[in-house]
A and B are shown apart, each in its own frame.
Chain A
Amino acid sequence: MTSHLFRLELRLLVRERAAWVLLGLFAAALGYGLWNGGRVAGRQREAAAALAQDTEAFQAQVRQHLGQQAIDPKAIAGRGTMAVLPPAPLPLLATGQSDLSPGHETVVLWRFAASGDTRSELENPSHLLAGRFDLAFVLVWLFPLFLLALVYDLMAGDRESGTLRLALAQGVTPWRWMILRALARALPMLMLAALGTLAAGFFGGSGGTGLRLMLALAVVLAYGLFWVALAIAVNAVARSAASAATSLGAAWVLLVLVAPTLLNVTVETLYPTPSRPELVAAGRKASGEAEKRGGELLNSFYRDHPELAPPGQQADFAAQHLTVQTEVGRAVEPVRQKFDEQLARQQTAVGQWRFLSPAIAMHEALTDLAGTGYWRHRAFRDQVTAFKKSVADFYTPKIHKRETITMADYEKMPRFVFREEPSGAWMNRASAGLGGMLAFAFVLAGLAMVNLRPARLGSMTA
């Protein structure tokens, strides 16, 4: 009986011309989203590759030079070492914040505190404001719309036209009948979304991303099921198809359009970002003060580190400059850290409140799994901070002691290698989002079941 009804519903769907149009449009949107995301990812891959190549060329140059003679550490430390974030594991899934967060940083020994341009690409600000037509956009915003267009009328229309009694005369419980209908009608759309997600891994994923892709697939399907469950719950109580459509439309507006912006504005009000202009001005003030005390700073540094003081020589300009900059870095660091801390607080709040709307949970999970969200960029920033320290630890003593860099040091020279987050970290975050969406779906389906118990149904089939 069950499979018979399921097949019947599928056959009815196949005969609907509107359904084919919707599926075709959705497929086109998925294709365009993938292609568009691919272009952005391609540009970013090229930029990262060019930077990595630059770094390698410089290394080769240094090596060649060292073969002939030793190098002054100031020359290398002053040019700086490039830290590059490699391309994201699944960039086609979501462009995320990758067009805003810088993907590289030049670590220069005496410029720890200075704050240069943070952009890595020229972008029209209106383009950033509008957002990108990538796969995440299609899946988070459009997928539910297309899905609801197919499943908004699961029972309300039959109730309106009086065919509900006829349908239920087949000896199936209303709840089961509606679930079957919903799944049959949603199936093609869910399959398309799943295919689109898999294509993101197939065309744009780097090796070893299978697990990420599978989780993304599960998240996408759970998101779809949530909207199907919502349609079921609404249909269990709606008196007409039009009112079911209005309620579902309103739910989409509230969950996809309003909730995330409301969360954003709340989070930014609760944990306001410190002021960049103030950081810049404060950094300059600290720098000016440190410079005025330059000689004094260096003397106290040598008192603390007598092993680094040049024997019987006058301290040179480089050593003094370095001490001043280290002091500036120390003075500014707490202010700079406030940015990271406040952003982390905002992100924690978003993580906690993402269950306010499955659209938020879905967006967070997709950008997280794609590697274009907050977490991977944060891992990059943290690793760059650690890298700065190893650069300082390597070059500072050499500069103070006026040692040179020789071939023996070549292998020991700090180089930046990005380590991806342990897979457990993103798995936990994405699974929590996944669990939340599924829980919502079950609650909604359960609500529908309660409302469809025969005792309550009597009045509604009339």
Chain B
Amino acid sequence: MIAAIARKEFLDAWRDGRFRIAAVVTLALLGVALLLAWQQVTRARAERAAAAALERENWLNQGEKNSHSAGHYGVYVFTPLAPLAVFDRGLEPFVGTTVFLEAHRQNQAAFLPAQDATAMRRFGELTAATGLQLLVPLLIVLLTFGALAGERERGTLRQVLSLGVRPRDLVLGKALGLGAALAALLLPVALFGAVALSKLPGGDVSGGWVRLAWLGGAYALYLAAILAGCLAVSAVASTARAALATLLVCWAANAVIAPRLASDFAQRLLPTPKLVDFETAMNKAVQEGLDGHNPRNDRLQAFAQETLKKNGKTRIEELPFNFNGLVMLESERMAGEVFDHHFGKLWDRLEAQDRTVTWTGLVAPLLGLRSASMALAGTDFTQHRHFSVAAEQHRRNFVRVLNEEMMNNTAGGHHGGTAGRALWEKLPAFRYDPPPPAHALRAATPGLVVLCLWAVGAWTALLLVAPRLKPN
């Protein structure tokens, strides 16, 4: 019985002109989005690789200079672009592309792509992900609002039920049929997209297939939850018009209002510190120590005494190495602790805000999906943080090597002698390994949990209202 109903619904859906038009428009938009994103992401990746190569040349050809000057000359590194950004750009336009690594300071990534764009970007981005997140649910609304309410209005529901069809079978049949119509539309696209995405340069390195499989699962959960929810509304609504109105309101609340409200809510609950306050606190901690009671000069004095004692000398000039180099090493170490603490706190705060938004997904499923999708595509904040930490690690290594050179190169005066290309070559180019899929999966877990809850909740609701289907 269920199969027969499902087949009928499937055919009905495909014969419906409105559905066909909406489906063609949606598919066309998905295709355009993927194609253009492909072009943009490939171009951006090539540009960043070229810039990194040029920057390496700059570093190697900086000429003969003092090693500490080289530390101030510094190195620029560029944020990587995850291959799956073709599917979901995520936060990529809103995080900096360029990090300046220099002595003494930990800098944030600067130059957001969105700063070099028009205000149109603030309407949201047309990507395959947003198409699936916003437009396909509308397609589902269109497909389902009349499925039960419409039959009730026309009186056909009474007829069908009088034939002895069990209400639950009818509802399940409809759900399966409409779900199959949707799947017939989306599955080929998904498969084609997956094969295409896995062919991206760099797509296979970071567990592309694992990510794609989980992405598929997340979107399937989301759409299944919406399908069941819509049918449940259609089952209880008195008229098709009422069902449509309710579903459109829910759609707008989920797709348009919820993201902004939830984001504001998270900001209010866990405010982001002001830049001025953040920098003041960090500079103060560099000068006075993390506890605020241990001025930098005192600590360095104590360090000098200790060094002299260890080497059995009484004057700094008697030390067999350049003491200034050692001081540089020590103060970098001390500053590093401060940076770890303050940036760690800031980033924890931003991640906590994002998690809050994800959990508000219990009210609006889009928020859960958005977070899971970005995490799996590798375009969420945790992955930007992973990169920032790696860049900072690179900065510390490179400053350490330069300071060690200064310490052992006793030829010159206060800052030691000069160094050349041989030393510059000793410092390896920055190579970033993106986090494994396990990291993405961990970041996506809250969103996936939210989606599972929604899917289970919506299908339970549908099964609960089904037996009580009113014929009119």
Contacts and interface: CB of A to CB of B under 8 A. Distances in A.
Contacts of A276: 97-98, 111, 113, 116
B119 A367 contact: yes
A285 B58 CA distance: 6
A137 B120 contact: no
Interface string A268-292: 1100110111101110110010011
Nearest to A275: B47
A363 interface: yes
Contacts of B93: 129
A100 B259 contact: no
Given A126-B357, A277-B98, A246 B244 contact: yes
A277 B62 CA distance: 18
Contact of B47 (A97, A245, A277): A277
Interface in A360-393: 360, 363-364, 367, 373-374
Given A125-B91, A257-B134, A264-B123, A246 B142 contact: yes
B179 to A, nearest CB: 21
Interface stretch (B211-219, B274-282, B320-328, B428-436): B274-282
A268 B123 contact: no
Nearest to A118: B110
A285 B54 contact: yes
Interface in A30-53: 36, 43, 47, 50
Nearest to B54: A281
A347 B118 contact: yes
Interface stretch (B35-43, B453-461, B464-472): B35-43
Q: Which of A127, A273, A347 has the most chain B CB within a 10 Å cutoff?
A: A127
Nearest to A350: B118
B325 to A, nearest CB: 24
Contacts of A61: none
A253 interface: yes
Nearest to B350: A124
B140 to A, nearest CB: 13
Contacts of B24: none
A350 B39 contact: no
Contacts, number: 224
Contacts of A342: 116
A64 to B, nearest CB: 25
B91 A129 contact: yes
A265 interface: yes
B241 A241 contact: yes
Contacts of B126: 258, 261-262, 264-265
Interface string A95-131: 0110011100000000000011111111111111111
Contacts of B108: 117, 119
A119 B110 contact: yes
A122 B112 CA distance: 13
A350 B121 CA distance: 11
Contacts of A261: 120, 123-126, 130
B63 A292 contact: yes
Nearest to B79: A277
A137 B245 CA distance: 22
A142 B249 CA distance: 11
A346 B119 contact: no
A243 to B, nearest CB: 9
Contacts of B175: none
B281 to A, nearest CB: 12
B95 A122 contact: no
Contacts of B98: 115, 276-277, 280
| Size class of the A contact interface (CB-based, 8 Å) | 35 or more
B201 interface: no
A281 B112 CA distance: 16
Nearest to A128: B94
Contacts of B205: none
Contacts of A292: 63
A130 B275 contact: no
Nearest to B89: A129
A133 interface: yes
Given A132-B264, A264-B123, A288 B58 contact: yes
B122 A280 contact: no
Given A275-B51, A281-B51, A288-B63, A118 B115 contact: yes
Given A124-B272, A128-B114, A346-B118, A269 B346 contact: no
B117 A125 contact: no
A350 B110 contact: no
Nearest to A256: B123
B118 A374 contact: yes
A119 B76 CA distance: 17
A87 interface: no
A192 interface: no
A97 B122 contact: yes
A215 to B, nearest CB: 18
Given A264-B120, A347-B118, A246 B353 contact: no
Interface string A135-153: 0010001100100010000
Given A117-B108, A119-B108, A124-B353, A245 B61 contact: no
B273 interface: yes
Given A126-B263, A246-B142, A272 B43 contact: yes
Q: Which of B78, B91, B117, B261 has the most chain A CB within a 10 Å cutoff?
A: B117
B52 interface: yes
Contact of A133 (B29, B36, B264): B264
Q: Which of B115, B266, B272, B275 has the most chain A CB within a 10 Å cutoff?
A: B115
Given A122-B273, A284-B58, A343-B118, A278 B260 contact: no
Nearest 6 pairs between A and B by C-beta? A277-B51, A260-B123, A275-B47, A261-B126, A264-B120, A125-B94
Interface of A: 36, 43, 47, 50, 96-97, 100-102, 115-133, 137, 141-142, 145, 149, 241-242, 245-246, 249-250, 253, 257-258, 260-265, 267-269, 272-273, 275-278, 280-282, 284-285, 288, 291-292, 339, 342-343, 346-347, 350, 359-360, 363-364, 367, 373-374
12 contacts: A117-B108, A125-B381, A257-B134, A261-B125, A265-B32, A273-B116, A273-B117, A275-B44, A275-B48, A282-B54, A363-B123, A367-B119
Given A125-B94, A245-B245, A273-B113, 9 more contacts: A43-B274, A122-B346, A124-B266, A130-B262, A131-B259, A249-B138, A257-B135, A265-B126, A272-B43
